[in-house]
Amino acid sequence: MATITIDGKAFEVENNLTIIQAARNNGIDIPHFCWHPNLSVAGNCRMCLVEVEKMPKLVIACSTQVTNGMIVHTANPRVVKARQAVMEFLLINHPLDCPICDEAGECKLQDYAYTHSIGYSRFEEEKVHKPKRVELGPHVMLDNERCIMCSRCVRFCDEIAGKPQLTFTRRGDHVELTTFPGEKLDNPYSMNVIDICPVGALTSREFRFKARVWEMSATETVCPGCARGCNMNTWVRNNEILRQTPRYNAEVNQYWMCDWGRLETLRQVNSDARIRGPLMRKEGGVVEVGWDEAVVRVASELKSFRKGEVAVLGSAFDTNEDNYALQKFAREVLQTRHLDFKRHTTPGNEDKLLISADRTPNSRGALEVGLQPGEHGANTEGIIRGIKDGSIKALFLADDNIAIDPEVAQSLIRLEFLVVLASVENETTRLADIVLPSSTYAEKNGTFTNLQGRVQRIRPSVATLEQERSLDGFAMSRLDKLGSQFDRWAKGPKRDARPPWRIIAGIAVLMGAKFKYQTSEDVFGEIASHVDAFNGMSYRKLGNRGTLLKTSRDLRVPLPA
């Protein structure tokens, strides 16, 4: 450890830290552009200049290591004057793009121009002009005039993504960021350069010119793109998700997330194929019906089958709460042993950074809450065989498109009754007798358990018609923000969808069971008291970083006598 003094205050810090790290750990902000906690030190922006007593010149805080007895000044007149000079230099050729720049509201250069600049420029010559609207790759647009050459994007590609695709060409005030000859910025993590760019040089081609940051609400949630469970923020205006960005979690994803997680999961929520309301197959074809008629029909039909003739398939795309309610419904109400969920693991599609071969967010959680066959029960393959041989006559399926396999689709046709919970139309919903629209990850409260066994919260960022009527779930996550945020989601389009646990509880009650859940937190409370691996957990204790499971156990639960 080393004792250092920063702006008159003494701190004891680890002696392997740099000045900027030591200051940051103790709540002192030293302005910077090129430094990033997870990247190597470049030291080329000079914005973090500080004065260290007994040193003849100002030093850059990002690369100067602390020593015992060091005395640092971060805001004396000499340092302030140096920062003003750096800002004046950076702004000499910077275009006046703030009114049309997507980075407005999040721009370090904009913020520092207000807090650390002299407020005017002595430069009277014509600015240097560089290429604008350069398509670096499928998702990233470059405006070279805005670039301040911090090199964060170059270092990210080299050090984190492992794909050296960006470099600087030319020299002096004509320097330009570009890709290597014949290369495109198309690595699986390319959009992270947008997040770490301190100015508006790198922007998202999908989000470009859609909204200002102050017009959107940001919700802390978890990416459902794979079993990694990257922490992220969803940004919403008028009840529509416009972008998704990584949220820092040192134990899961650091500062990063993959492009697939940002874009593909968002497209599901905003899809034109979203199911607008319950659908029922009648003599004249498939028609849209009310919720009451649909759930009454499901309960009535399921009652008509004998034990063992009904199978249940859950989903690793659903939350722990959804799957717990489903396995309880299967065992206690339907009294079936045939219970499982389809795996979506594709070995070889993973990498060493974040992307998992398991392309679902909650397969670990599904197993832990008991979504697996009972004693002598059939797994997914066994259920399909049972449908083929006629021993299984009805199937309750939640949030998975198993009919994408033509062979499985041919088997499902043999069923006497098929009820499907789904958020978008697919091959399976087209075969169903009843389709009940379920909420996506962005429309419900709940938890996912990632591949590490970390239980993490998801929160609703867009509202459904049910939430508009009751504010259930949405208000829980936004109670402190409902003032101005309410208008932002209340104006947009809403889907008539419900979380699977609520749909299942409604059917169970009609079949004579006592499922008294009012909120997802009620379901999670029961999980915490009945499943050892979740013992003692609560939404409050999970916080925004999650909690690791306790020792898991074999959950092959026998049927009630």
Q: What is the 3-state secondary structure (H, E, C) of 63-77?
A: CCECCCCCEEECCCH
Tell me how far the alpha carbon of residue 272 is from its chain's centroid. 21
Two tokens, residue 543: 């916080």
Kindly state the DSSP code that residue 17 receives in the 8-state scheme: -
Check: CB of residue 314 under 8 Å from CB of residue 327: yes
Q: At what angle do helices 77-91 and 108-115 cross, to 10 degrees?
A: 130
Neighbours of 120 (CB within 10 A): 8
- 454 CB-contact burial (10 Å; exposed 0-12 / middle 13-18 / buried 19+): buried
As a whole number of angstroms, the distance between CA 99 and CA 146 comes to 13
Helix, strand, coil share of the chain (percent; to 5): 30, 20, 50
CA atoms within 13 A on the CB side of 525: 8
* Phi, psi (rounded to 5 degrees) for 326: -70, -45
Q: Give pTM, 2 decimals.
A: 0.90
Element (H, E) at 396: strand 394-398
CA distances from 451 to 225, 227, 362, 524 (A): 12, 5, 8, 19
Q: Strands 339-341 and 547-548, how do they pair? A: unpaired
Kindly state the DSSP code that residue 528 receives in the 8-state scheme: H
Check: CB of residue 217 under 8 Å from CB of residue 488: yes
As a whole number of angstroms, the distance between CA 380 and CA 316 comes to 13
Question: Which pLDDT does position 492 carry in this prediction?
Answer: 61
Mean pLDDT by 10 residues, the chain (561 residues): 93 94 94 95 93 94 94 94 94 91 93 90 88 94 94 96 94 92 94 96 94 93 95 93 95 95 90 92 87 94 91 96 96 93 90 93 95 88 93 94 93 94 94 95 95 94 76 47 48 80 95 91 95 94 93 46 31
- 487 CB-contact burial (10 Å; exposed 0-12 / middle 13-18 / buried 19+): exposed
Summarize pLDDT for 102-150 with one digit per residue, the tens.
Answer: 999 999 999 999 999 988 888 888 899 999 999 999 999 999 999 999 9
Question: Which pLDDT does position 560 carry in this prediction?
Answer: 39
Task: Find tokens 């969920």 and name the residue.
Answer: 341
Check: CB of residue 349 under 8 Å from CB of residue 357: yes
Tell me how far the alpha carbon of residue 57 is from its chain's centroid. 45
Domains, in order of start, for the chain? 2-91 (3.10.20.740), 124-269 (3.30.70.20), 279-548 (3.40.50.740)
Question: Which pLDDT does position 214 carry in this prediction?
Answer: 92
Spatial CB neighbours of 218, under 8 Å, sequence gap ≥ 6: 233, 234, 235, 236
Two tokens, residue 465: 């018609």
Q: Which of 438, 441, 444, 415 is nearest to 426 (CA)?
A: 438
Q: Strands 394-398 and 310-314, how do they pair? A: parallel
Two tokens, residue 233: 């923020």
Q: Strands 454-458 and 446-449, how do they pair? A: antiparallel
Element (H, E) at 196: helix 192-196
Neighbours of 388 (CB within 10 A): 15
Check: CB of residue 127 under 8 Å from CB of residue 93: yes
Task: Find tokens 């990233």 and name the residue.
Answer: 140
Kindly state the DSSP code that residue 325 receives in the 8-state scheme: H
Check: CB of residue 288 under 8 Å from CB of residue 276: yes
